[in-house]
A and B are shown apart, each in its own frame.
Chain A
Amino acid sequence: MALSDIVRHRSHLDRRFDRIRALEEAGQLTTPTGSRALRKFMNNRLAVFGLIVFSVIFLASVLAPLLTPWDPTRINLRAISQPPSWDHWLGTDKTGRDVFSRLLYGGRVSILVGLGSALASALIGVVIGCYMGYVGGWLDAIVMRISEAIMAFPEIILVLMLVSIVGQSLVNIMLIFILGGWCGIYRLVRAQMMSLREEEYVQALRTFGLGRGLITFKHILPNTLGPVMVNITLSTAAFILQEAGLSFLGLGVPLSIPTWGNILNVAQDLSVLQNNWWLWLPVGVVISLFVLSVNFIGDGLRDATDPTQQG
């Protein structure tokens, strides 16, 4: 027995290595086929957990009519503020509306606002970023200044300021979010454009005579896909939290349309906080879970699409 066997201290890493080596030498390991990014994502337990939770909540909202017989806006003054029961799984609120169905239908709007605004601002940001990043010039400089000006506002200040001017409505809120949201992706894409523009393979493509537009969209854009997707997930999380906060304050989506934040609006009343937990606690938990799942997915995407990370 060599000196090394006696002296070496076996850590848990060592044991893991031993296991892998044994498998390898038995010929049982193969190089996996298929998309590496997908594999990495699926191996990330948190990301998969996030995906599952996200899907559950998403589907529950979309399939709301199938899951609850109650109309979320139907007032029933004979069943005010009832705690959870078999009839009303999460009880009723101050005007007799079923909380569970409001949760599900409210999810539709919240997710629409969150995901929709994120996707729309990503679309706008990508288009503008691509064009400006490649073209450059004074137009690019102006748009950069504009985006810097917008980004100088803390989000909530910007949003509330605009709300106080244009008033509250579902469309207004989404438009305001998009106005504040396109800047991030724009700068991301623009930076990628500018750095890749100078890369050798792009220059090679140009010597082949490929037009700028083609190069931009077919060759450079796929490289930005990873960070853009990550950004979309993180924006979704941010927008959902924002909408919840705004609607909680009564300054977001109008109270007539149920959203997760709107439902929580009643929690501003201390007696509700103390006595009617079913009116606010489940909604808050659902929001947190949903945003958490989106964050897990975003992190998983980031790890999966980052080419520099080791296994």
Chain B
Amino acid sequence: MADNDIALSVRNLKTFFYTNNRCNKAVNGVSFDIRKGKTLCVVGESGCGKSVTAASIMQLLPRLSRIEEGEIIYHSARGDIRIDTLPRNGPDMRAIRGADISMIFQDPMTALNPVFTVGFQIMENLRYHTALRGGQLRDKTIDLLRDMGIPLPERRVRQYPHQFSGGMRQRAMIAMAMACNPRILIADEPTTALDVTIQAQIFDLMATLRRDHGTAIMLITHDMGVVAELADDVAVMYMGNIVEAGTVDDVLRRPTHPYTRALLDSVPVLGRGKNQSVRAIPGSTPDPLDRPRGCQFAERCTYRIDACDQMPSETQMTPTHRVMCWRHEELAHAPR
């Protein structure tokens, strides 16, 4: 892949948490690229490290944690910027946040400040990253709200978050994130707190953004259905590692890693009828502070062999498709 196709590169990222005086290796060597104008879906169960990865990119990690190793390279118009080396709340990082790379969170009700109007919070973003002032800020904000599909934006600008419905709040959040036309939008489970019908609307909105603004999207989710809908690229995470990654075609049509296959098997598909096999994954994720040796998924894996006591190395099966499993050869050809 040519370098000017890529908006953000993450190389061997390791982020460790140090709460309760223990060292929790939440992200333990993760590499991926976000291609310009494409959507990367990061999938995995709760606790696998997907949100931590996003927080690392934005340098929004909590106090008792840090980026241990690795590189996060943002390919901006001004050149390559090593995000991992920037001081957390320094002027460089702050210039990137909100303007180059934006983030939206899971629950818009708690993510928006309840004592300020929605308009105020959007205008804040504009004021700090653009040269707009005064009435221009208001106009731009109203336009943003309208673009995101919020009716009567002139009135909505003056309203408070709790006066919006759930779906509209998330739209407002997206409006706020898109205000400065960022190159990358990170969405951390943006629809988990919303109804399914609203979910569909939000994802339509995101597809529109991608099309109209060429925004690259990093979408974090645990819902395989969403991946099928929106993803160009997929990365499957488990216990701090990416176990499989590739284009959506690679991963969903030719799932190789046992975990990916098990995930896909656990989701019922509309239209396959009531006799389709839906299998839950046996066992549960191990305690991150008491990890098994070698492959983290081994204890729940039906394809386990002795070699799994050693952490598998990453194999590039095709130029786009990579996997971390000793038995990838067999699994690539095994029927589903």
Q: Which of B16, B19, B85, B289 is A7 in contact with, Cβ under 8 Å?
A: B85
Closest chain A CB from B85 CB (angstroms): 4
The residue from A2, A9, A13 contacting B87, defined by CB atoms under 8 A apart = A9
**Shortest Cβ distance from residue A239 to the other chain B in the assembled complex, whole angstroms:** 36
The reply to whether B23 and A20 contact each other, CB–CB distance below 8 Å, is yes
User: Which bracket fits the contact residues of B?
Assistant: 20 to 34
CB contact between B66 and one of A3, A14, A310 (< 8 Å): that residue: A14
Looking at the complex, which one of A3, A13, A21 makes contact with B16 (CB distance below 8 Å)?
A: A21
Q: How far is the CA of A31 from the CA of B71 in the complex (A)?
A: 31
B18 on interface, CB distance cutoff 8 Å? yes
Residue with the greatest number of chain A CB neighbours at <10 A, chosen from B23, B64, B84: B23
Query: Is A24 interfacial (CB 8 A cutoff)?
Result: yes
Given the contacts A7-B85, A31-B290, A310-B64, A16 and B71 also touching, CB distance less than 8 Å: no
* Cβ-based interface call for A210 (8 A): no
Known: A31-B290, A310-B64. Contact between A4 and B22, CB under 8 A? no
* A311 x B19 contact (CB < 8 A): yes
Indicate if B197 sits at the interface (CB-CB under 8 A): no
Choice from A2, A24, A310 contacting B71 with Cβ under 8 Å: A2
Q: Map CB proximity to B onto A22-56 as digits: 1 under 8 Å, 0 otherwise.
A: 01110001010000000000000000000000000
Contact residue among A4, A14, A16, A29 (Cβ-Cβ distance under 8 Å from B82)? A4
Distance in angstroms between the alpha carbons of A37 and B70 in the assembled complex: 37
**In the complex, A100 Cα to B314 Cα: how many Å?**
77
Please report the C-alpha to C-alpha distance between residue A165 and residue B287 in the assembled complex, in whole angstroms.
64
CB pair A29–B85 under 8 Å, yes or no, is no
A9 to B88: give the CA distance in the assembly, Å.
11
Q: Quick one: which of A113-131 are within 8 Å of B by CB?
A: none
Which among A16, A20, A310 has the highest number of chain B CB atoms within 10 Å?
A20
Q: Are B85 and A311 in contact (CB under 8 A)?
A: no
Q: How far is the CA of A8 from the CA of B287 in the complex (A)?
A: 31
Query: Is B4 engaged at the interface, CB distance under 8 Å to the other chain?
Result: no
Chain B 31-62 near chain A by CB (<8 Å), digits 1 or 0: 00000000000000000000000000000000
Considering the chains assembled together, what is the distance between the CA atoms of A13 and B88 in angstroms?
Answer: 14
Chain A residues with CB under 8 A of B64: 13, 310-311
Cβ contact within 8 Å between A311 and B21: yes
Within the assembled complex, what's the spacing in Å between the Cα atoms of A21 and B65?
Answer: 11
B20 interface residue (CB < 8 Å to A): yes
A4 close to B85 (CB less than 8 A): yes
**Least Cβ distance of A294 to chain B in Å?**
27
Contacts of A13 in B (CB 8 A): 63-64, 66
Chain A residues contacting B68 (CB-CB under 8 Å) are 21
* Distance of A59 from chain B, by nearest CB (Å): 33
- Specify the chain A residue showing the minimal Cβ separation from B287: A31
A-B CB contacts (within 8 Å), total count: 49
User: Chain B at the A interface: mostly helix, strand, loop or mixed?
Assistant: mixed
Chain A residues within 8 Å of B18, by CB: 16-17, 20-21
Cross-chain contact of A310 among B19, B69, B289 (Cβ < 8 A)? B19
Which one of A2, A8, A9, A20 contacts B22 once the chains associate, using CB atoms below 8 Å? A20
- Of the residues B22, B63, B71, contact of A29 by C-beta under 8 Å: B22
- Residue ID in chain B nearest A25 by CB atoms: B23
Nearest neighbor of B16 in chain A, beta-carbon distance: A21
Whether A311 and B20, one on each chain, are in contact in the complex, defined by CB atoms closer than 8 angstroms, is yes
Contact assessment for B23 and A8 in the assembled complex, using a CB-CB cutoff below 8 Å: no
Contacts of A2 in B (CB 8 A): 69, 71
Neighbouring B residues of A17 by C-beta, 8 Å: 16, 18, 23, 66
Find chain A residues with CB under 8 A from B290 CB: 31
Q: Name which residue of chain B comes closest to A7, CB basis.
A: B85
Q: Are A4 and B23 in contact (CB under 8 A)?
A: no
Q: Indicate with 1 or 0, residue by residue over B64-83, a CB within 8 angstroms of chain A CB atoms.
A: 10101111000000000010
| Chain A residue contacts of B66, Cβ below 8 A | 13-14, 17
Interface residues of A in 293-311 (CB under 8 A from B): 310-311
Chain B neighbourhood of A8, CB < 8 A: 85
With a cutoff of 8 Å between Cβ atoms, the chain B residues found around residue A25 in the complex are 23
Q: Is the CB of B19 within 8 A of A4?
A: no
A7: chain B residues at CB < 8 Å are: 85
* Least CB distance, A44 to chain B, in whole angstroms: 14
| Nearest chain A CB to B244 CB, angstrom units | 27
Contacts of A9 in B (CB 8 A): 87
Known: A4-B70, A25-B23, A311-B21. 18 other contacts (CB 8 A): A2-B69, A2-B71, A4-B71, A4-B82, A4-B84, A4-B85, A8-B85, A9-B87, A13-B64, A13-B66, A16-B18, A21-B68, A24-B23, A29-B22, A31-B287, A310-B19, A311-B20, A311-B64
Q: Which 10 A-B pairs have the closest CB atoms?
A: A311-B20, A24-B23, A7-B85, A21-B23, A311-B19, A17-B18, A20-B23, A310-B19, A4-B85, A20-B18
